[in-house]
Amino acid sequence: MSSKAGHNAPVFEKYQQKAKNFMCSCLAKGDSNTQKTPGGLIYRQRWNNMYFVTSAAFLGTTYSDYLASAGKYLKCSSGSVSLNELLSFSKSQVDYILGDNPRATSYMVGYGNNNPRQASDPNLLTGALIGGPDAYDNFTDQRDNYEQTEPATYNNAPLIGVLARLHAGHSSYNHFLLGNLVVRDAAEDKPQNYLWQSFDNPGDTTLPGMKVGINLKTSFHHSLSSWKSTNDPSIGEFTWTFDTGGFLQTFIMNGFIELYRAGPWNVRVFPNAPSHDTSWNGYNYTYLSDPNEILFMYELTCSSIIARVVMQLNR
């Protein structure tokens, strides 16, 4: 993954492609997506399915960290994926496990008001994760229902990794929790089905993980725009957007008047960006240009740093 495979590079390139395909499938953005229950839990088999759930969730967190450290992005067949989406996927599986599901059932012994009482092991196993529901979110809490009530260390082990990762925090992940205002159906918690979300409509401010760019298929612009006045948040005079002709670069515009251009992307930064200290490694930038979209976003590598980009009312 770190390009240190030497003469084994061709083998690891195949491994990288399989890892990419797997994560795209988990996010339902691949060519052959993983099966999920109606409530959103990954489903692979009847007997102790939770092993696959916790392993996939753990891989979602580690793959997100790999992309952040490598300054890369995940490009799936149905579109690009932000680091927040990977972490959101992992969190959605943990939420389901701990009770955010159609049955409001926790599948961890001792956690929540409605948790397993009849695990197949008769000993008191507080914290043990059992096999979980079937493909339709159905579950029967009976000791002889081994397929669903059997606890296993290989269920818990990946889950510990996911919980540790989420507890440790990450600036982009925290911004997803605290900064992304969404409008959705009350019964819908999948980000791809949100009716509207602020991370797709930045207004005058972008946070780590938010997209700025253009969807070339729908012509939708993820652009920054200043407020009309200090008391009026409607679109003002100034915008920050991409140019789709010639070298792809960003512009700050006052109506149709060009005030500033950042210069073409040079793989690391926009060269004309002011006050950019390339010696500090606190940002990971993602820039994508393909027939479907033009996309730019940034992540922070240090969880103790808070950052935002704001389009001001005046020059």
Catalytic (active-site) positions: 141, 150
Q: State the Cα–Cα distance between residues 297 and 208, nearest whole angstrom.
A: 7
Q: State the Cα–Cα distance between residues 212 and 155, nearest whole angstrom.
A: 39
Locate all alpha helices (DSSP H) within 205-254, ordered by sequence.
none
Residue-by-residue DSSP string for 175-193: HHHHH--EE--TT---GGG
Q: State the Cα–Cα distance between residues 298 and 242, nearest whole angstrom.
A: 16
Name which of 93, 85, 114 is nearest 161 in CA terms. Answer: 93
Name which of 197, 195, 245 is nearest 222 in CA terms. Answer: 197
- Exposed / middle / buried, residue 213 (Cβ in 10 Å: 0-12, 13-18, 19+): buried
Max CA pair span of the chain: 74
